[in-house]
């Protein structure tokens, strides 16, 4: 082989390595679409059927409910079988919704909640789920908690996450006495002093709690991996609107262009997970609801991202 042929061969090999990498980079999408199973909760499908509906609708990612997984296990299913079902359907479980009262002042109740959460995390790790929601369950009414103490408690469950491989994401609940505002969850996350601290926000809860969509910009992009999407109608007003009033993305008055731009992260795709508790949707065919939710999310993103 002469010098010219050698140089041509090197160039060909280099090009073969570069072009696919560039092509792969070009195909990276800014958002991943997920279905939160609250959306199908009223149809009472059960763990396996919920997953089948999501996959058939075109979803590649889902958020499950811990209680639904545990009902499946109580009915004779195993974690190994659950993981196989998820894999066979081509799905990824991005997050799980649980309600352990990790935040409360009562030490006995909190200790019990940490045991509960540890067990849930171990189950989720076994099926390949890397996250669990950590809402202010148990502190939605009553006294206002000391946020410095809440930060310590959040760190404690983040340390459980270190051991189990499942990271608790601090969840905003707009109707709650505690952790209803972005400033509160941001303070707790930062003051926890833990590198795995992450925030889980929701279009409806940002509206309900009064933080508004502009508050998304106040949260550093590294703190957001998954974001709950839905929409809220003009009526009822913010003060009286409830979980059940959430509607499909684009069917309400949320400023979606601003939301998408605020969430978009050049360093990683953000998981948009559709979550509603709409009784009208629960009365409809589950597959149609799942397909509609995915189509409406994609439509919103196409015009912006």
The parent domain of residue 176 ranges over 31-303
23 in any annotated domain: no
- pTM of the full structure: 0.91
Q: Tens of pLDDT along 200-243?
A: 999 999 999 999 999 999 999 999 999 999 999 999 999 999 99
**What's the mean pLDDT when you consider all of the chain?**
93
pLDDT value for 13: 40
State percent of the chain over pLDDT 90.
89
Across the range 254-283, mean pLDDT stands at: 97
Q: Tens of pLDDT along 147-173?
A: 999 999 999 999 999 999 999 999 999
16 in any annotated domain: no
State percent of the chain over pLDDT 70.
91
Q: Tens of pLDDT along 11-37?
A: 444 444 544 555 444 567 899 999 999
224 in any annotated domain: yes
Looking up residue 272, the CATH number of its domain turns out to be 3.20.20.150
15 in any annotated domain: no
186 in any annotated domain: yes
Report the C-alpha gap between 21 and 78 in whole angstroms.
Answer: 39
283 in any annotated domain: yes
7 in any annotated domain: no
State the total domains in the chain: 1
- Count of Cβ atoms closer than 10 Å to residue 296 Cβ: 18
């Amino acid at each position: 082989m002469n010098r010219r042929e050698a140089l041509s061969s090197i160039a060909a090999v280099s090009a073969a390595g570069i072009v696919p990498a560039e092509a792969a980079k070009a195909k990276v999408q800014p958002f991943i679409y997920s279905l939160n199973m609250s959306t199908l909760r009223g149809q009472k499908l059960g763990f396996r059927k919920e997953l089948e509906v999501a996959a058939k609708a075109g979803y590649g990612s889902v958020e499950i409910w811990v209680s639904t997984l545990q009902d499946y296990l109580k009915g004779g299913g195993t974690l190994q079988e659950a993981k196989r079902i998820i894999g066979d359907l081509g799905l990824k479980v991005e997050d799980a919704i649980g309600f352990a009262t990790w935040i409360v002042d009562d030490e006995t109740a909190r200790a019990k909640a940490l045991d509960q959460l540890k067990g849930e995390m171990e189950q989720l790790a076994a099926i390949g789920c890397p996250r669990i929601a950590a809402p202010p369950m148990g502190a939605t009414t009553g006294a206002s908690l000391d946020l410095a103490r809440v930060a310590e408690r959040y760190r404690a469950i983040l340390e459980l996450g270190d051991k189990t491989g499942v990271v608790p994401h601090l969840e905003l609940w707009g109707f709650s006495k505690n952790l209803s505002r972005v400033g509160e969850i941001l303070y707790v996350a930062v003051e926890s002093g833990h590198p795995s601290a992450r925030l889980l926000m929701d279009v409806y809860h940002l509206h309900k709690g009064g933080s508004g969509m502009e508050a998304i910009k106040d949260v550093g992009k590294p703190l957001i991996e998954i974001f709950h999407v839905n929409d809220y109608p003009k009526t009822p007003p913010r003060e009286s609107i409830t979980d059940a009033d959430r509607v499909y993305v684009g069917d309400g008055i949320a400023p979606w262009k601003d939301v998408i731009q605020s969430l978009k992260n050049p360093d990683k795709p953000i998981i948009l997970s559709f979550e509603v508790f709409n009784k009208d949707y629960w009365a409809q065919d589950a597959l149609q609801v799942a397909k509609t939710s995915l189509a409406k999310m994609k439509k919103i993103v196409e015009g912006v991202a």
